[in-house]
Amino acid sequence: MKEQLEKLKEQIEMFEIKQSEHVEAFRLKFLTKKSELNDLFEQFKLVPADIKKEMGSKLNQVKQKAQQKWEESQSQFESIKSTKSSQTIDYSLGSEADFIGVRHPLSIIENEIIEIFKKLGFVYSEGPEIEDDWHNFSALNFPPNHPARDMQDTFFISENIALRTHTSSVQVRLMENQKPPIRAIMPGRVYRNEAISARANCFFHQIEGIYIDEKVSFADLKQTLFYFVQELFGQEIQVRFRPSYFPFTEPSAEMDISCLLCKGKGCNVCKYTGFLEILGCGMIDPNVLEASGIDSKKYSGFAFGMGIERIAMLKYEVKDLRTYFNNDTKFLSQFESQ
């Protein structure tokens, strides 16, 4: 055993620790339960009593030597690591600037539209995204067999409950709970069961508006919307109204503006017509007024509705509305100053 201790002592002294990895290797070789040193402690139990004291002293000396070398090496490399780490820090440098969050382009456009209509006396109103059949369809003059009630267009939660397909439901709630005159806009998210493409999504954002009072005419509607597009897109914008059909307005129209993406020359977004439809509008059908308890013989009104994504596509010349929902920070950072 004495020869084994001498040999082990020599191995400990000769073991070179040049890298931090060598420190762990040294510990595994000499200081674990599977090491040769630990085996010698097991053999020590069988050493004769007359040499037990001498062997015990030598055994402890070897163990202390191994322990000391390991601790000194560990301390040395930790000190080197700490020194290198401190040397990489330049305390004279300024702190890193925090990333400043930006408004989403759809929020920017929505706020801009709201501010324009506020100048005309329209107030802000909102309602629930989950609606019953009455507020989403029936009160808006949708007959029971109207295609919009079909599962192809609407996300039904139950037989009479669905995700709202338009913010017109907020108009109904206003008319039920407020006497004319009513002048309000209602922005919000809406849902329709449509295929996702460059021009459509299964959810999008709308802003609708109504104005109800005595002697409100279609001329009031046209002038209101003409003022709106000039404020949003500039005085040079070209506008046209086309006859259309909506269950809740009569007469109804769609409003087109000259395509800002192709400057009226024609592109795939405007279907090569040079114009792009941005909203639907019309005079509120007397049946809709009566359904909400408003005397249609005394009052008249107009309503309009537009998709915020469509307006943003024109305003920022973005040809694919899916871009607004991809969370691309490079795209969103362009709006940092707005």
The per-residue pLDDT for range 39-51, each reduced to its tens digit, is 776 776 777 777 7
Q: 25-29, 81-85, 275-279 — which is least confidently predicted? A: 81-85
Provide the pLDDT for residue 174.
94
pLDDT digits (tens, 9 = 90+) for 117-149: 999 999 999 999 999 999 999 999 988 887 777
In this prediction, what percent of the chain has a pLDDT beyond 90? 42
pLDDT of 94 > 90? The answer is no
Least confident span in 263-267, 302-306, 315-319: 263-267
Residue 10 confidence (pLDDT):
78
Q: What's the mean per-residue pLDDT of the chain?
A: 84
Encode pLDDT of 164-210 as tens digits.
Answer: 999 999 999 999 999 999 999 999 999 988 878 777 788 889 999 99
Q: Where are the domains of the chain?
A: 2-84, 105-322
| pLDDT of 30 strictly over 90 | no
What pLDDT score does 274 carry?
85
Please state the φ and ψ torsions of residue 301, each to the nearest 5 degrees. Answer: -170, 170
User: If you average pLDDT over residues 269-285, what whole number do you get?
Assistant: 88
In sequence order, the 6+-apart residues with CB closer than 8 A to the CB of 232 are 112, 113, 116, 311, 315
pLDDT at 247 over 80: yes
Tokens of 17: 């620790």
Average pLDDT rounded to a whole number, residues 333-338: 70
What is the torsional sign of CA 282, 284, 287, 292?
positive
pLDDT value of residue 227: 95
Top-tier CATH class for 105-322:
alpha beta
CA dihedral 302, 306, 308, 312 (to 10 degrees): -110
Unique residue bearing structure tokens 């871009």: 323
Ranges 9-13, 217-221, 296-300: which has the least confidence: 9-13
pLDDT at 228: 95
SS3 49: helix
Q: How large is the average pLDDT for residues 292-297? A: 94
Other CB atoms closer than 10 Å to residue 25's CB: what's the count?
Answer: 12
> HEC string of 302-325?
EEEEEEHHHHHHHHHCCCCHHHHH
pLDDT of residue 260: 78
Which residues are bridge partners to 279 per DSSP?
255, 306
Q: What is the rounded average pLDDT of the residues 35-41?
A: 72
- What is the reported pLDDT for 337? 58
**pLDDT above 90 for 65:** no
Peptide bond preceding 251 in cis form (omega within 30 of 0)? yes
pLDDT tens digits along 163-177: 999 999 999 999 999
Which residue would you say has higher pLDDT here, 57 or 306? 306
**Where residue 221 falls among pLDDT bands split at 50, 70, 90?**
very high
The predicted structure's pLDDT at residue 86: 53
Which of 285-316 are b and which e, b meaning 16 or more Cβ less than 10 Å from the residue's Cβ?
bbebbebbebeeeebbbbbbbbbbbbbbbbbb
Q: Which of 6-20, 125-139, 175-189, 222-236 has the lowest mean pLDDT?
A: 6-20
Q: State the pTM of this model.
A: 0.66
pLDDT at 211: 97
User: Higher confidence at residue 104 or residue 20?
Assistant: 104
Mean pLDDT on 265-278: 81
Of 39-43, 182-186, 268-272, 305-309, the poorest mean pLDDT is in: 39-43
DSSP assignment, residue 265? S
Strand ranges, E, within the chain? 123-124, 130-132, 161-163, 182-191, 203-213, 239-246, 249-258, 275-284, 300-307
More confident residue, 75 or 222: 222
